[in-house]
C-alpha cells in the first residue's frame, strides 16, 4: 500500500458533522504533518536548433508550426493559468538558458551582475506564487513575435550545464526551502552537451547530484527533430543527470503531485509530453489532508489498531477569499472585516456570550440548557470505530445513503502493526464479499452513527496508474428516525415486448466501456466562473459561451438510436391500448404525485365526474401536509375543520378553539412520531 499525504493543519471541513457547530474539537497533533505544496521551475533551452521552426507544418494544428522554445513557453503559460486557480499556493518559475542576455535577479540586466554569476542564464519569471502580472508578461512573450525576437536570442558560446543546474539550486534553496515537492522541468534538444569537455560533463553530474540531495526531482522533456533526421538519445548524457524514480531506485525523490507525469525514457517528442501536463479542468484542488487522525479501530475485544480517514470525493464550489468594499474617495478596494452582535428582542441591548443558552421547544414550552449540560447530553464516549458484526455485502440496500462515505487507511502512529492487521481484514472482506457493521464516533462530542465498513479494491487505468487506492470505506447508515415515508405509488409493469425494445436503445447509448469517468466531465458552472474570473484578472476578452461537456450529442444519439426510439414509441402506443382494453382503467394523477387507478369514465358522465372531484376535495389534510406544517411551525394556515378532521382520524380529542387544536397536533407529533 502506498503512503498517503498528511495535512498541515486541522481540517476545516464540516464533512460528516451535520449541525454540530457548537461541539468541541479535540486537540490535533500537527507535528507529523508536512506542507503539501509544489514548486515547479521550467528550464528551457534557447539554442539555434530550439528556435528553428519545423519545415513541415499542418494548417489544422497551429501549435505545430511553433519553434520548440516558444511551444514550451506556451505550455508553461497555460500551466501557470491553471495553477493560479487549481493550486493557488504552489510556485512556478521559468529559467531560460543558452540566451545571449543574462539575468538572475531584478536589476541584473542593467548592472550586468547576472552575466557574472550565471552567464547565458535568464530568469524570466522568479520562482514564486504566480501573479496576474507574471501571466501577462508570459502571454506577451508568447503572442508578441517582436518581444520574443528581442529576448529569445541564442548565445554564440555554449552554456555551462553545471552553471544552469547550480542556478536552479540557488532558486529552490532561497525561494522554496521547505516545500515537500520541488521539480525542475528541463526542456532541451541537445542530448550531448560539452562534447569535447569531460570535466564539464562531470561537473554537471555533480550539480545534478546536489539537486537530488536537496530533494529536487529533475524531469526531462527531450525534443527530437524527425524532419531533420535527429532523435534524442538519453544515454549519451542525461542518464547521469536525471535520476530514475522507479522501484529500482527507491531513494530517488518521487513527485508528490499527481497532475505531472514523469518524462518517459522512450518518448520522442517533449512538446507532446508538456502538453500532456495540461488539463481542460480548471478547478481549485482540495487540500490533501486527513479528516480524522489516529482513530482507534476496535476489531474485537483486545484487538485495536489506528486508522486515518480521508475525503476522496468532495463537491467543489467557487470560494470567496474575502469581502471588499470601494471607498467613496478611492478606486482601490479595501478589505471588509465582518463582525456580529447578539441583541435582545425586546430592549435591543447587546447580549454577552455568557448569557446565551441553547433552547429547544417541547410541548409548546422552551427548554434551555447551559453549554456544560449540552456537552454531557452529546457525549457518547471517546472517538472510536468499533466493529459489532459482519454481514454479506448483498444485504446493504442501495437507498441506505445519508452522507458520503469516508476512506480510511492504516496508521502506525498509535499502534505498531496496524498496517498488517488492516491489510488482513481488508483482503478477507474483499475475498468473501462481506461488510462490517460498526459503532462510529468520528470525533469528540460528535454524534454516534451506525456505519458499514465496505472493502474497496484497487483500481488502475490502462497506463497502470492508480485511480482508486485499496482500503476500507466507512458508510454511515440511517437510523429508524431518518427514514421518511414513501409516497403511495401504483405502477403498471411494462410487458416483455416493451422491455425488449428499450433494451436495444440502452445498448446503443452506453458510455465507452460502460463506465462513467468523471474526469471527462468538468463542472460547467464552475468552469464558467473561473473562466470569467481569469478574463477579468488578465484583462482578456470576456468569453461569449461556456464550454459544457455534459450536453448530449444529439446528432450522434439520433444516428445511433433514433430509429429504435421511434420503434419503441410505436410499441408503447400499442401496449397502452392493449392494457387499457384489458383493464378498463386509466391512470389518474393525485395531488401528492402518485398515480391512482380508476375506472374509465365516459365523456357524457359530467355530473359523476364532478361528484368524484368533490369527494377528492373532502379527503382532508394528509399526514405529509400536516407533518410539513408542524415542522415549519405553520399549523395556523389550516382551518378548524381541517384540524378537527385530521385529529379525529388519529383518535385524538377535537374539543376547544383553534389554538387548542393546534396544541393537540403539536403534542401528537412530539409524543407519537411514528405517524403513518
Q: What is the mean pLDDT of the chain?
A: 78
- pLDDT > 90: percent of the chain: 23
- Whole-angstrom distance, CA of residue 37 vs CA of residue 30: 16
In a domain, 494, yes or no: no
C-alpha cell at 529: 466562473
- Which of 377, 397, 415 is the last residue before a domain boundary? 377
Note whether 80 and 151 are same-domain residues.
yes
In a domain, 2, yes or no: no
Higher pLDDT, 2 or 599: 599
CA distances from 289 to 292, 625, 656 (A): 9, 44, 60
C-alpha cell at 500: 425488449
Under a CB-based contact definition with an 8 Å cutoff, are residues 467 and 459 in contact? yes
Note whether 155 and 239 are same-domain residues.
yes
- φ and ψ at residue 136, rounded to 5 degrees: -65, -45
Under a CB-based contact definition with an 8 Å cutoff, are residues 520 and 550 in contact? no
* Domain of 627, in residue numbers: 587-675
Note whether 574 and 613 are same-domain residues.
no
Which of 571, 462, 473, 593 is CA-nearest to residue 515?
462
pLDDT at 91 over 70: yes
Note whether 212 and 88 are same-domain residues.
yes
Note whether 422 and 541 are same-domain residues.
no
- Whole-angstrom distance, CA of residue 487 vs CA of residue 542: 47
CATH code at position 463: 2.40.290.10
pTM as predicted: 0.62
In a domain, 532, yes or no: yes
Total number of domains in the chain? 5
Note whether 385 and 364 are same-domain residues.
no
Map grid coordinates 394528509 to a residue.
622
Instruction: State the angle between helix axes of 68-86 and 270-277 in degrees (0 to 180), rounded to the nearest 10.
Output: 10
- Whole-angstrom distance, CA of residue 182 vs CA of residue 205: 19
Under a CB-based contact definition with an 8 Å cutoff, are residues 471 and 454 in contact? no
Note whether 523 and 558 are same-domain residues.
yes
Note whether 226 and 333 are same-domain residues.
no
Note whether 276 and 339 are same-domain residues.
no
- So what's the pLDDT on residue 116? 63
Higher pLDDT, 310 or 276: 310
- Tell me the per-residue pLDDT of 126-148, one tens digit each, with 9 for 90 and over: 999 888 888 888 888 888 888 88
C-alpha cell at 244: 530514475
C-alpha cell at 580: 387499457
pLDDT at 80 over 70: yes
C-alpha cell at 172: 529552490
Considering 203-212, 288-297, 517-526, 657-666, the range whose residues carry the highest mean pLDDT is 203-212
In a domain, 633, yes or no: yes
Note whether 277 and 253 are same-domain residues.
yes
Considering 440-449, 469-478, 608-617, the range whose residues carry the highest mean pLDDT is 469-478
- Tell me the per-residue pLDDT of 375-424, one tens digit each, with 9 for 90 and over: 888 888 899 999 999 999 999 998 888 888 999 999 998 899 999 999 99
In a domain, 542, yes or no: yes
In a domain, 35, yes or no: no
- So what's the pLDDT on residue 272? 65
pLDDT at 433 over 90: yes
- Whole-angstrom distance, CA of residue 473 vs CA of residue 453: 6
β-strand pairing of 216-222 with 181-188 = parallel
- Which of 584, 615, 644 is the last residue before a domain boundary? 584
Confidence of residue 276 (pLDDT cuts 50, 70, 90): low
- pLDDT > 70: percent of the chain: 78
Considering 326-340, 427-441, 575-589, the range whose residues carry the highest mean pLDDT is 427-441
CATH code at position 116: 3.40.50.410
In a domain, 3, yes or no: no
Question: What secondary structure, in 3-state letters, does 194-212 show?
Answer: CCCCHHHHHHHHHHHHHHH
Note whether 604 and 579 are same-domain residues.
no
Note whether 575 and 592 are same-domain residues.
no
In a domain, 397, yes or no: yes
Amino acid at each position: 500500500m502506498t503512503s498517503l499525504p498528511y495535512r498541515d493543519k486541522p481540517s476545516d471541513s464540516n464533512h460528516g458533522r451535520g449541525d454540530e457547530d457548537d461541539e468541541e474539537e479535540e486537540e490535533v497533533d500537527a507535528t507529523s504533518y508536512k506542507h503539501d505544496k509544489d514548486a515547479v521551475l521550467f528550464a528551457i533551452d534557447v539554442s539555434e536548433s530550439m528556435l528553428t521552426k519545423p519545415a513541415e507544418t499542418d494548417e489544422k494544428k497551429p501549435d505545430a508550426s511553433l519553434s520548440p522554445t516558444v511551444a514550451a513557453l506556451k505550455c508553461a503559460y497555460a500551466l501557470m493559468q491553471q495553477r493560479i486557480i487549481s493550486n493557488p499556493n504552489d510556485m512556478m518559475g521559468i529559467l531560460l538558458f543558452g540566451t545571449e542576455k543574462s539575468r538572475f535577479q531584478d536589476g541584473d540586466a542593467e548592472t550586468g551582475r547576472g552575466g557574472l554569476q550565471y552567464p547565458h542564464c535568464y530568469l524570466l519569471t522568479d520562482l514564486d506564487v504566480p501573479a496576474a502580472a507574471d501571466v501577462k508578461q508570459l502571454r506577451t512573450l508568447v503572442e508578441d513575435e517582436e518581444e520574443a525576437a528581442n529576448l529569445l536570442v541564442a548565445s554564440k558560446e555554449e552554456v555551462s550545464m553545471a552553471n544552469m543546474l547550480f542556478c536552479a539550486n540557488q532558486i529552490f534553496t532561497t525561494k522554496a526551502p521547505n516545500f515537500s515537492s520541488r521539480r525542475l522541468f528541463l526542456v532541451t534538444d541537445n542530448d550531448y552537451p560539452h562534447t569535447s569537455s569531460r570535466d564539464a560533463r562531470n561537473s554537471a553530474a555533480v550539480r545534478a547530484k546536489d539537486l537530488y540531495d536537496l530533494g529536487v526531482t529533475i524531469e526531462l522533456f527531450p525534443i527530437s527533430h524527425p524532419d531533420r533526421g535527429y532523435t534524442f538519445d538519453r544515454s549519451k548524457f542525461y542518464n547521469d543527470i536525471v535520476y530514475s524514480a522507479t522501484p529500482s531506485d527507491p531513494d530517488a525523490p518521487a513527485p508528490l503531485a499527481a497532475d505531472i507525469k514523469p518524462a518517459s525514457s522512450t518518448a520522442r517528442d517533449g512538446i507532446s509530453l508538456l502538453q500532456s501536463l495540461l488539463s481542460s479542468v480548471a478547478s481549485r484542488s482540495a487540500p490533501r489532508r486527513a479528516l480524522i487522525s489516529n482513530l482507534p479501530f476496535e476489531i474485537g475485544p483486545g484487538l485495536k489498531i489506528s486508522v486515518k480517514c480521508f475525503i476522496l470525493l468532495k463537491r467543489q464550489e467557487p470560494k470567496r477569499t474575502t469581502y471588499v468594499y470601494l471607498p467613496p474617495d478611492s478606486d482601490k478596494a479595501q478589505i471588509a472585516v465582518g463582525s456580529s452582535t447578539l441583541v435582545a428582542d425586546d430592549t435591543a441591548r447587546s447580549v454577552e456570550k455568557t448569557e446565551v443558552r441553547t433552547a429547544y421547544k417541547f410541548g409548546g414550552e422552551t427548554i434551555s440548557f447551559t453549554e456544560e449540560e449540552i456537552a454531557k447530553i452529546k457525549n457518547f464516549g471517546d472517538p472510536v470505530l468499533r466493529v459489532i458484526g459482519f454481514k454479506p455485502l448483498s444485504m446493504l440496500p442501495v437507498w441506505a445513503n445519508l452522507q458520503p462515505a469516508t476512506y480510511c487507511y492504516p496508521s502506525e502512529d498509535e499502534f505498531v502493526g496496524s498496517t498488517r492487521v488492516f491489510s488482513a481484514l481488508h483482503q478477507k472482506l474483499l475475498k468473501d464479499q462481506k461488510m462490517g457493521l460498526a459503532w462510529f464516533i468520528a470525533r469528540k462530542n460528535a454524534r454516534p452513527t451506525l456505519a458499514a465498513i465496505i472493502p474497496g479494491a484497487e483500481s488502475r487505468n490502462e497506463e497502470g496508474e492508480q485511480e482508486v487506492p485499496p482500503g476500507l470505506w466507512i458508510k454511515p447508515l440511517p437510523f429508524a428516525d431518518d427514514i421518511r415515508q414513501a409516497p403511495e405509488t401504483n405502477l403498471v409493469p411494462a410487458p416483455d415486448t416493451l422491455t425488449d425494445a428499450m433494451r436495444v436503445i440502452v445498448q446503443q447509448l452506453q458510455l465507452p466501456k460502460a463506465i462513467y469517468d468523471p474526469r471527462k466531465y468538468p463542472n460547467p458552472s464552475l468552469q464558467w466562473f473561473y473562466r470569467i474570473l481569469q478574463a477579468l484578472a488578465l484583462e482578456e476578452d470576456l468569453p461569449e459561451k461556456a464550454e459544457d461537456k455534459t450536453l448530449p450529442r444529439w446528432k450522434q444519439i439520433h444516428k445511433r438510436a433514433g430509429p429504435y426510439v421511434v420503434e419503441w414509441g410505436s410499441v408503447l402506443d400499442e401496449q397502452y391500448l392493449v392494457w387499457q382494453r384489458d383493464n378498463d382503467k386509466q391512470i389518474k394523477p393525485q395531488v401528492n404525485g402518485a398515480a391512482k387507478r380508476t375506472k374509465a369514465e365516459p365523456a357524457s358522465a359530467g355530473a359523476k365526474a364532478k361528484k368524484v372531484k368533490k369527494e377528492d376535495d373532502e379527503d382532508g389534510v394528509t399526514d405529509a401536509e400536516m407533518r410539513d406544517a408542524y415542522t415549519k411551525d405553520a399549523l395556523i394556515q389550516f382551518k378548524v375543520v381541517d384540524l378537527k378532521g385530521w385529529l379525529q382520524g388519529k383518535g385524538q380529542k377535537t374539543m376547544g378553539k383553534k389554538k387548542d387544536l393546534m396544541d393537540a397536533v403539536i403534542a401528537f407529533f412530539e409524543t407519537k412520531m411514528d405517524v403513518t
